[in-house]
Amino acid sequence: MSCIRKAAALLWVVGTLAAARAETIGAAFSGIYNLTTIAPPAGLVSSYYTGGLVFESGDPNVLLFGMYADSAAGRILAVDVTRDSVTQGVTGFTGSASTDSSAPYIDAGLTYGPGGYLFFTATTNTIGEIKPGSTSPDYTVSLPGVTASTGGLDFIPAGFGSAGNAAITSYNGESICSATVALQGDGSYAFGTCTDTVSLSSTVEGIQYVSAGTPGFSANSVLINFYSPYGSGSVVAYQVDSNGMPILSTARSFITGLQEAEGITLDPVTGDILVDPVDGANAQWIVASAAPEPDSFGLTLAAFAVFAAGPGIHAARRSGGGGLSPVRTE
């Protein structure tokens, strides 16, 4: 995304922290989802941008998120989450965030993909690729066919059209497109020229695919963060076509009234939707959880499997590995 445009929005937010915002579940999802806000992780530095977010592979009690976004000092931080003892939903953060990996110019895309790599979008219109156990990008690859600068990233899941392709948003291009992903001889994953572009007619950031059968979603869908300043950001749900791209005529507001929506991810334990704001040190983070049904509490088998996997593949980094400072303080 444009650093100038984001900086202008951030200055407005910092100057109006006392102003009330009305984050609201869209009418189509009212009664299906509840919306709660949680305070930012401790130790974040004001006036720096937040980036994408994803739960750590193998450890759903650790959230990874971008910090110092749009800058050479960009990095991925890790923080432990607290969960409700009954619903298992995220209720907050515990302890201070610490560095998991460097991630220069990270933006709103942060997700796991092929090879177990951690992928992130960068405002240099590139993708950073981090192997399990690494504390810096192992590869940086270009994004042909994406209008600079990029925004969000997700890999199209199995059961969707064009499964395995990467879906990439363009902030300045106000669009989303699809690219093939192929392993190269050097161990990197190359992204093909982005095609099947859909114009969204507004600045966009993070994206998250949602499978049919999820509460409120009768068909395979994608959630897209619309980055509108001054408390008018939103998350919009679309059904997808045979290319995994949004069908504009199916648009439904999922969340409205957000302070500039940045990253978005699914909680692997509950299926809840988490959204972080661009000013992640000062603004509230958002959790959208399905309204409980009688006797529906508890963990799914998939959640038990995630817990059984033990510490995630990045845990070693947070216990002294990498030699990176917890957060930048200058």
Give me the CATH number covering residue 46: 2.120.10
Per-residue CA distances from 185 to 132, 189, 190, 191, 256 (Å):
18, 9, 10, 14, 45
Burial of residue 8 (CB within 10 Å: 0-12, 13-18, 19+) is exposed
Does residue 231 register a pLDDT over 80?
no
Q: Whole domain around residue 279: which residue ranges?
A: 3-318
Q: What is the 3-state secondary structure (H, E, C) of 227-290?
A: CCCCCCEEEEEEEECCCCCECHHHCEEEEEEECCEEEEEECCCCCCEEEEECCCCCCCEEEEEE
List all residues 6 or more positions away from 159 whose beta carbon is below 8 Å from its beta carbon.
211, 212, 220
Peptide bond before residue 142 is cis, with ω within 30 degrees of 0 = no
149 lies in some domain = yes
In a domain? residue 53: yes
pTM of the model: 0.85
CB neighbour class for 199 (10 Å; exposed up to 12, middle 13-18, buried from 19):
exposed
* Strand pairing category for 150-155 and 181-183: unpaired
* Beta bridge pairs of residue 154: 167
Q: Is the pLDDT of residue 243 over 80?
A: yes
In DSSP terms, 30 is beta-bridged to 33
Distance CA 326, CA 275 (A): 22
* d(C-alpha 177, C-alpha 248), whole Å: 14
Residue 328 counted as domain residue: no
Please say if the pLDDT value at position 249 is more than 50.
yes
DSSP state of 27: G
Question: pLDDT exceeding 90 applies to what percent of the chain?
Answer: 69
Residue 325 within a domain: no
For residues 64-75, average pLDDT: 95
**Residue 322 confidence (pLDDT) above 80:** no
Provide CB contacts within 8 A for 180, sequence distance 6+.
Answer: 165, 166, 191, 192
Helices (H), the chain: 3-15, 301-308, 315-318
| Residue 37 in domain | yes
Q: By C-alpha distance, which of 242, 252, 292 is closest to 84?
A: 292
Give the residue-averaged pLDDT of 197-226. 96
pLDDT score recorded for residue 326: 35
Taking residues 91-110, report their average pLDDT. Answer: 96
**What's the token pair of residue 87?**
């619903």
Give the separation between CA 285 and CA 41, rounded to whole angstroms.
9
Q: Report if residue 323 sits inside a domain.
A: no
Q: How confident is the model at residue 48 (pLDDT cuts 50, 70, 90)?
A: confident
Residue at 247: amino acid letter: I
- What gap in Å lies between CA 76 and CA 224, rounded to an integer? 21
At residue 46, the pLDDT reads 75
| pLDDT at 21 (0 to 100) | 55
At residue 160, the pLDDT reads 98
List pLDDT tens digits, range 124-153.
999 999 999 999 999 999 999 998 889 999
pLDDT at residue 323 in the model:
33
Q: How many domains does the chain have?
A: 1
pLDDT of residue 1: 53
**206 is a domain residue:** yes
The answer to the question of residue 326 being in a domain is no
Given a cut of 80, is residue 155 above it in pLDDT?
A: yes
pLDDT of residue 230: 54
